[in-house]
Amino acid sequence: MPYIIGLHSAASAFLSAGIVVQCSVAIVICLVIVLTTTASLQDDGDEAPKSLPGPAFLSIVPFFRQRYDFLNWGFHITGQSTFQFQLMSNTVIVVSGASARRAFFYAKGFDLTEGFKILSGAIPMVRGVTSGLQTKRISVIHKRLAAVQKNLPLSNLIPAILEDSRQLLESYGPSGTFDPFEKIYELIFQATVRSLSSSEISDDPALVARLKTLYDRLDTGTTPATVLVPWLPTPAMIKKLWATKEIYEIVVRAIDSRQQSGISRNDTLQMLVDSGDEKLVVVGFIMGLLIAGARATGTTASWIVTFLGGHGDWRQKAKTEVESLLTEYSNSTAASLSARLADIPLEIWESQTPVLDAIIRETLRVAQPHTAMRRNLGPEVYINDKLIPSGAYVVYPFSDVHLDPEIYAEPWRFDPSRKEASKVDLPYVGWGVGKTTCLGTRLAKVELKLTTALFLLAFDHTLVDKSGEAPTVPPTPNWNDILMCRPPQGSCYVKYTRTNLAL
């Protein structure tokens, strides 16, 4: 096997060593972080962004745990549109404003991969597979992702995504209550596994559930220490490594099974195998893109169902739009909704769903807590008249534009009827902009429209609180939750009743 994660016996021994040993390691970590980051910074020059006050190590936990509040505090306390702070030995510069937004997204030397490697840390890291990739391998992965989203492969995915969704929705029963940030995310995770991996995985519900558990473990195990000092064997890091190892083995087994069987299947793995790509490229494609796609799309889908549960007018508009598509384009004699929706051509889903498009766009604006991260690989540039040196990390919070009341009145209010601000430069960056846009946009939109359409036709739903009553205040996306933007756990649920239409 080309990749082996650590010594299994050592990892097991550490995890079972008990709280005393694990706490001792945690103390060592804290000491290392403090000693590394308390070195005094040079005084800010006229061209340098203003530094945050106080010891540098005090920025570490807020940046990873309360990022939205931390960045807003930074702008407030410095009184500047650009400021800097230290994460260990890494200089991080935060920019805001219209001119900075354009400069950030169009700067040729700003590298996304390098930025996320240090500042994010939630992607399973396997050197040569999902990290440390050669430029050629990255280019191949991007090319294959584009191939998945061509007309024919994407059209072929529509019935499979709808059938997977039908099976999951059937398990809900005739009525009940669920947490949308669990159930709807599960729906999108299955759709993403179907779209970007293999039938050996996507046809096995238990295996898909196991993969979701492992990726969730990567999320919960991502701490400041695991990102900034990944070489220290903290309990969280050991668990992350173990989860990464198991994800890797699941993907490799699927590839080996396909190659050994000699049976050709109509899925993404077959496209990768037939293209003659290196095995490491195939593994990296599936491991990295599965979670990158499922996280963002799952968050959006969860909030769409949440918002529509609290906005009956938009729920009905979306439902009416889908019903009109069925009337015009479905020729199926089958009684099931999934089969009838599968009759609707891809180009219709993409060009004749203005209501769904508006709902997706507004959901991304108000409930997608992205902070774009880059590393300046050179040369040095100026943003807001401040120097961005080569090697520095640069971040731009989407909240700077998407939650700006000067651009979007009452920015926290969900309103898909909003008109795009015509006099503002780059007023919307939901799918990225400039030289780095979301490469999976087309697939993500199709997944969102299919799953939302099927859910709306199969169920009537409303939003309720933990007592089962309509919430007095609509849930507000929590931008400090950098993964799902979810409100406080237990604060909102979806109450549903099956319609008389067969799934």
Residue 318 has a pLDDT of 98
* Spacing of C-alpha 153 from chain mean position: 23
Q: Specify the residue for token string 């106080």.
A: 54
Looking at residue 42, the DSSP 8-state letter turns out to be P
Nearest to 184 by CA among 364, 466, 367, 447: 447
Q: What is the mean pLDDT of each run of 10 residues along the chain (503 residues)?
A: 40 47 48 46 72 91 93 97 93 97 95 76 53 67 92 96 97 95 96 96 97 88 70 77 90 94 92 89 88 90 97 98 95 83 97 98 96 94 96 97 96 94 92 88 97 98 93 92 89 94 86
* Spacing of C-alpha 206 from chain mean position: 23
Residue 298 has a pLDDT of 95
Residue 288 has a pLDDT of 85
CA dist., res. 368 & res. 438, Å (int):
13
Residue 335 has a pLDDT of 75
One DSSP character per residue, 416-477 reads TTPPPPTTSSS---TTEETTEE-TTHHHHHHHHHHHHHHHHHHEEEEEE-TTSSPPSS----
The phi, psi pair for 29, rounded to 5°, reads -60, -50
Residue 226 has a pLDDT of 65
Residue 37 has a pLDDT of 46
**Binding site residue list for heme:** 438
Q: Three-state SS across 189-216?
A: HHHHHHHHCCHHHHCCHHHHHHHHHHHH
What are 92's strand-pairing partners?
85, 393
Q: What is the pTM of this model?
A: 0.89
Biggest CA–CA distance in the chain, Å, is 74
Residue 21 has a pLDDT of 46
Residue 278 has a pLDDT of 85
State pLDDT tens for residues 258-268.
999 989 999 99
**Binding site residue list:** 438
CA dist., res. 424 & res. 73, Å (int):
25
Q: What domains sit in the chain, N to C, each tagged with a CATH number?
A: 8-498 (1.10.630.10)
CB 446 within 8 A of CB 165: no
The angle subtended at Cα 220 by Cα 216 and Cα 221, nearest 5°, is 110
- Beta-strand ranges (E) seen in 148-295 are 175-178
3-state secondary structure at position 153: helix
One DSSP character per residue, 66-120 reads SHHHHHHHHHHHHTSSEEEEEETTEEEEEE-SHHHHHHHHH-TTEEHHHHHHHHT
Q: Specify the residue for token string 């701490």.
A: 223
Q: Tally Cβ neighbours within 10 Å of residue 245.
A: 19
Residue 125 has a pLDDT of 53
- Helix or strand run (H / E) with residue 347: helix 346-351
Looking at residue 177, the DSSP 8-state letter turns out to be E
Looking at residue 403, the DSSP 8-state letter turns out to be T
Residue 233 has a pLDDT of 77
Q: How far is CA 262 from CA 175, 274, 297, 339, in A?
A: 44, 12, 33, 30
